[in-house]
Amino acid sequence: MILLVLAAVVVALVVSNRRGKERELARRQAELEPVKKLAFEDITALGEELQSLDLDLAGRELDPGANADYQRALDAYESAKTAGERIAQPDDIRHVTEILEDGRYAMACVRARVAGEPLPTRRAPCFFDPRHGLSVADVSWAPAGGAPRDVPACALDAERVRAGAEPDVRQVMVGAQRVPYWQGGRAYQPYAAGYFGRTGVMDMMFMGMMFGGLGGFDALGDGIGALGDGIGDGIGAVGDGVGDMFGDIGDMFDF
């Protein structure tokens, strides 16, 4: 009798664990796909910017410094494509956006050298949309329902914010709703960390914004839901196992 109960409990735990792992795998895959798509959009954008730069440089003789920076930008584009193909989990996306950030800075250096200007200070990309390139200034800005904070912005977005207008924010789909990428959920944290982690902006801003905003509560809800599902499966499997056991015992007495 005791051995049968123990066997039923063991079976129930194994079934619950397997179901939990399957749900977690499906959840992670659902989280990964939109962020992976976002990363490939950024890779494509860098490729288009390189084409534009190539047209601007047509017929110009590059000095060794400009040539090295240009090659660095080309290498970044190829490396980002390779890294993008290897994305298997959200954390892998951080490597892609780190490469893209470096490639855009290299392009800015090429343009400065060709124009005979000093090399640009290495600043974080534009917070509102990293595809805008290097930020030129920090502006005081407050998300909906949040406190004001200084964020890096490109020239156009800095002008919009100072004029009281809305910046050009990168939007992503969460269910049927379009939201700023920093509200997309925990899977977007590595995407942002690759762009902003090098400069320390992540420590100041994203930890509070990404985990304290919509994405943070979504992640908390997912965790509680998964825990509840796991407990429910475990209790249900135990009940099924014990019920089957007593049914077998009843059959023995009937016999």
Report residue 197 as tokens.
């982690």
Print the domain residue range for 79.
Answer: 2-254
Q: What is the pTM of this model?
A: 0.72
Instruction: State the total domains in the chain.
Output: 1
In this predicted model, what pLDDT tens digit does every residue of 68-87 receive, in sequence order? 999 999 999 999 999 999 99
In this predicted model, what pLDDT tens digit does every residue of 123-171 receive, in sequence order? 999 999 999 999 999 999 988 788 888 999 999 999 999 999 999 999 9
